[in-house]
Amino acid sequence: MPVKAFLLLVVVVSFALSAGGANFAASFGAACGSGVVRRKQAILLFTLFVTLGAVLLGKFVSNTLSEGIIPVEIINFNVSLIIIIAATLSLLLANVLKIPQSTSLITVGAIVGIGLGFGKINVRTFLFLIPMWIILPLVGYGLTLFLGRFFYPPRHGNLRLYEKIAAHEGKLKTFVMVSSCYDAFAIGTNNVANIVGPLSGGGIVSAGLGFLIVAPLFGIGGILFKGAFQTAGKDIVPLGVFTTALTCFIPSTLMIVASASGVPQSFVHLKMASIFAIASLKDGYGVTIKRQIAKRTLAAWTVSPVLSVMISFSLLKAIR
């Protein structure tokens, strides 16, 4: 096997494993943290539904990444390799820091670095993507905050709701399981394309075959990377059965909307926005934003995409 082909194989697998770790945390971290499902069962369900989502709806985001941000004619084997190396290094850093990170923004950052190197970026695409990246997490935060207010803080007016939840806890746990699977499906519709898009754009593999190869690696990543899982499930705020369901259903719905629109959207950002909304209700806005994990997460969300741009731009300049 040629050296470049072997290197591409290594970074594709590394990226998929790292992305799987981050996205498993975002989808099943809360469910596992609240004791609804065991980790081994969660990994099997996560792998299955990520693969289904990728095969059924992943093509729209893959098309955006392969030809919507930079011209497809400048993407070749070397460019695809650079994009995935840059994204992999940035994502591995986030996993080492135990922070769930956006595979989408990191991948887009790597593609932007290539575009800057060639002086060719489709600005019209970003006029659509950037507002979506801002609006969707804010919508998720707002919806979670609105619905969560019916339950938090506990007060005389919502005691009947608590009684109903206690009486139907078994059904609610089932709903949490369904919601987590829905999360995994939503991840598959969008985030697997972060790897497959650059590969198909460079003519290395077809999108359909790429989804079938890459998606199962996400499940293996959920086994290997546990730090981000613990962050999402426990470190920010303890989640009960109801709040777990809420932080599953809202981000997933928004993610599928983004995928159908061809937007490489960060599921981790959507998920964490909902979790931060619950933390704001339980502990207050001031306490939530001052927590070290909140500051570290927000910093990583800013730095990692920029780092990805810099790495891909520098590698392109080096080989040219």
Tell me which residue range forms the domain holding 104: 3-319
Q: Model confidence at 229, in pLDDT bands (50, 70, 90)?
A: very low
Looking at residue 233, its pLDDT comes to 45
Non-local CB neighbours of 66 within 8 Å, separated by 6+ positions: 72, 75, 197, 198, 200, 201, 207
Q: Are 239 and 33 a contacting pair, CB within 8 Å?
A: yes
Least reliable range by pLDDT among 55-59, 97-101, 142-146? 97-101
Overall number of domains in the chain: 1
pTM of the model as a whole? 0.84
Of residues 135, 162, 145, the one with CA closest to residue 284: 145
d(CA 267, CA 274): 11
Task: Taking residues 156-182, report their average pLDDT.
Answer: 68
Task: Taking residues 168-197, report their average pLDDT.
Answer: 85
Least reliable range by pLDDT among 81-85, 140-144, 163-167? 163-167
- The model's pLDDT over 120-151, given as tens digits with 9 standing for 90+, comes to 999 999 999 999 999 999 999 999 988 877 77
- Kindly report the average pLDDT of the chain as a whole number: 82
Of residues 225, 227, 193, the one with CA closest to residue 104: 193
Of residues 101, 58, 66, 63, the one with CA closest to residue 83: 66
Looking at residue 283, its pLDDT comes to 66
Give the range with max mean pLDDT: 166-175, 176-185, 266-275.
Answer: 176-185
Task: Taking residues 287-307, report their average pLDDT.
Answer: 69
Looking at residue 57, its pLDDT comes to 94
Share of the chain above pLDDT 90, in %: 42
